[in-house]
Each structure stands twice: as structure tokens, then as C-alpha cells.
């Protein structure tokens, strides 16, 4: 499927096949480095689901000077491309977030990735840059879900089960929500899911993978370690860029380490309340625990009053 032209309402994207027992899952590090013990623990969880995980050669690397990166840009890009283009690999999962995905996007051979066909991609946080690239360049639906080396994934059973179900039994995932979810702006809306980490969406504006419109989107937003004034600044940037014109609804996830939540809520209410669309807060995805796996690029219904997001089709076919 060809991605929808910019400025028009978003269309559902191509859904990759669901995973079957024994499916090979490649674990890559397009962003920051991961401790070896967390990688090993994540691989063990995936094996427990009767999957066949394999870590790519540079997953445990560190950049020689920029120690916040997992190896050089070229090696991180090579691992991702090799995994995606391997016909024996059914899914690619980021091992952690941090920073660095934007630095590899332009090093990938997108024609080769397109020729390899649709596969499952999982990640969140810094992986938002890759979600956007897969959506705009490949027209591919992806999973906003926990990384294989993330602390929440390794320690929280509900986070693990949400990803396991999305990968292996997607038809069972009918309604997404949390006990804490409640309307910031009441209402109900239909649209196509998109979004992810607010800071990455803002950083993408003006880049080859930066959207110019999210018309018709059910927009997912979350972040970590951003003070309220910085959240204000990034939301204002999206508003001034016209990116939120025509958004159908907004689902807000966690805002871990972003200061007192009451202060964050007031910023969210101030910047998003004027859109005139339903907005639900604390839906249960992002950097918090538990962290739901949410499909990006699929039609869904957002019910802010009920605190739910209901995909109209399974994340994977």
C-alpha cells in the first residue's frame, strides 16, 4: 500500500503478518546501548513465548566517542537493514530507546526494505523516528510497544502480556485502556492511529520523515523526562506547524519524570483542549508501567469518556 499523500486524511496502512510459534525475531539497537544482562533477559522472555530471537552483531556495541549511542551509525543501520532484508526474519524489535534512531534513517536502503515485504516492527520512545519512517516510506503499520531490553518489559508481567498478545494472538486484543484513563476532553472519535514520543515528533518536523499533516489521526502522545514548559514548547511547535489541524482525537500516555502531573495536565489541557476533539489521558502506553502495546497505522475508535482505544482491525493480519 502506498502511504497517503500528505495533507489528506490518514488511511490505514499495510498490516504485517502475525507471528507464529518458532518465528524468528531480530533484536537490534538503532539508538542507545543496552547492558548485556538486560539483552540476555529480554531474549529469554521472547524464547518463553516459543519465538526464536536472535541479537544482531552490533547490539552490544558502544560508539567510540558518543557513548550514548549503541555503536556507529553505519553499524546500527547495517544491523537493522540486514535484519529486515533477511527472509528468515519475521519481526524486528528495538532493544532500547535513548537517542540515535534519527541518525540511521537516511543510511537505510529503503528500496531494499520495501522489496523485503512487510514485517513486524516493535519499539517506542526514540523508535518513534522509525515508526514515522516506516509509515511514510513503506506505508507499513507498526507496533508502539516495549523494547526487549527495557526495564518495564523485563519486570512487568502486564507489559509482557500486552506485547505477547499483539504479536501472537492479535485478534484477542479488542480494547486498550487502563484503570487510570479518563477524559481530558470528552467525546468519541474514529481515525487512524499515529504518533508516539512527543519530542521525536517535534524533532521530525522539516525532515524527510516529518509529517506535514495528521488529519484524521487518533494521535498518541507520551514522553519522559520533559518538564512542563518543554512539553508546552513541543506541543506549540506542532500547533504552529499545522500538524494538528484536523486531528480526530488524542490519546495521552505516560509522562514519567516530567514533573508534578497536575502541572503536566494543565499544559496538555491548555495546548490540546482547543482542538475541539476528544482527548483521553493516562491511557497506559509509553514509559510508565504497565505499558500497553498499541498498533500504529490502523483504524480505531477513541472513547474518551470510557477511557478506551478500540482497534477496528487487529494490529497484525
- Tell me how far apart the alpha carbons of residues 25 and 301 are, in angstroms, rounded to a whole number: 30
Q: Phi and psi of 182, rounded to 5°?
A: -155, 160
Annotation says 222 is catalytic: yes
**Helix, strand or coil, per DSSP, at residue 173:** coil
Intra-chain end-to-end CA distance of the chain, in Å: 14
| DSSP H/E element including 84 | helix 73-85
Q: From the candidates 132, 222, 281, 282, give the one annotated as an active-site residue.
A: 222
Tell me which residue has cell 520495501: 114
Cα-atom radius of gyration of the chain, to the nearest Å? 18
Q: From the candidates 31, 125, 162, 213, give the one annotated as an active-site residue.
A: 125
Q: From the candidates 58, 63, 144, 287, give the one annotated as an active-site residue.
A: 287
Residue in 127, 131, 155, 148 with CA at minimum distance from that of residue 27: 148
Query: 217-224 and 249-256: which strand pairing?
Result: parallel
Whether the Cβ atoms of residue 27 and residue 53 lie closer than 8 Å to each other: yes
Annotation says 161 is catalytic: no
Cβ count within 10 A of residue 112: 11
Annotation says 94 is catalytic: no
Q: Which three cell numbers stand for residue 164?
A: 505477547
Catalytic (active-site) positions: 125, 222, 287
Amino acid at each position: 500500500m502506498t502511504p497517503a499523500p500528505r495533507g489528506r486524511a490518514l488511511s490505514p496502512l499495510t498490516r504485517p503478518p502475525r507471528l507464529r510459534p518458532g518465528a524468528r525475531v531480530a533484536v537490534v539497537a538503532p539508538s542507545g546501548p543496552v547492558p548485556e544482562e538486560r539483552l540476555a533477559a529480554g531474549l529469554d522472555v521472547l524464547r518463553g513465548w516459543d519465538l526464536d530471537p536472535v541479537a544482531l552483531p552490533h547490539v552490544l556495541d558502544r560508539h567510540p566517542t558518543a557513548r550514548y549511542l549503541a555503536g556507529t551509525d553505519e553499524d546500527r543501520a547495517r544491523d537493522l537493514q540486514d535484519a529486515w532484508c533477511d527472509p528468515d526474519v519475521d519481526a524486528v524489535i528495538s532493544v532500547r530507546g535513548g537517542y540515535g534512531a534519527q541518525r540511521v534513517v537516511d543510511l537505510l536502503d529503503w528500496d531494499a526494505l520495501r522489496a523485503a515485504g512487510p514485517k513486524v516492527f516493535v519499539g517506542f520512545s526514540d523508535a518513534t523516528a522509525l515508526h514515522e519512517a516506516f509509515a511514510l516510506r513503506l506505508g507499513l503499520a507498526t507496533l508502539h510497544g516495549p523494547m526487549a531490553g527495557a526495564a518495564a518489559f523485563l519486570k512487568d508481567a502486564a507489559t509482557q502480556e500486552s506485547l505477547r498478545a499483539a504479536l501472537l494472538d492479535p485478534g484477542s486484543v479488542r480494547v486498550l485502556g487502563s484503570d487510570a484513563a479518563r477524559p481530558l476532553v470528552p467525546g468519541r472519535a474514529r481515525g487512524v492511529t499515529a504518533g508516539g514520543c512527543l519530542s521525536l515528533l517535534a524533532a521530525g518536523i522539516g525532515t524527510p520523515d516529518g509529517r506535514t499533516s495528521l488529519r484524521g489521526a487518533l494521535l498518541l502522545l507520551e514522553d519522559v523526562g520533559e518538564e512542563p514548559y518543554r512539553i508546552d514548547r513541543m506541543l506549540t511547535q506542532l500547533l504552529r506547524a499545522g500538524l494538528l489541524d484536523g486531528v480526530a482525537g488524542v490519546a495521552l500516555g505516560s509522562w514519567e519524570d516530567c514533573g508534578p502531573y497536575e502541572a503536566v495536565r494543565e499544559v496538555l489541557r491548555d495546548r490540546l483542549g482547543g482542538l475541539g476533539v476528544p482527548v483521553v489521558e493516562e491511557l497506559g502506553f509509553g514509559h510508565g508501567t504497565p505499558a500497553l502495546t498499541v498498533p500504529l497505522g490502523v483504524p480505531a475508535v477513541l472513547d474518551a469518556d470510557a477511557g478506551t482505544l478500540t482497534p477496528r482491525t487487529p494490529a497484525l493480519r
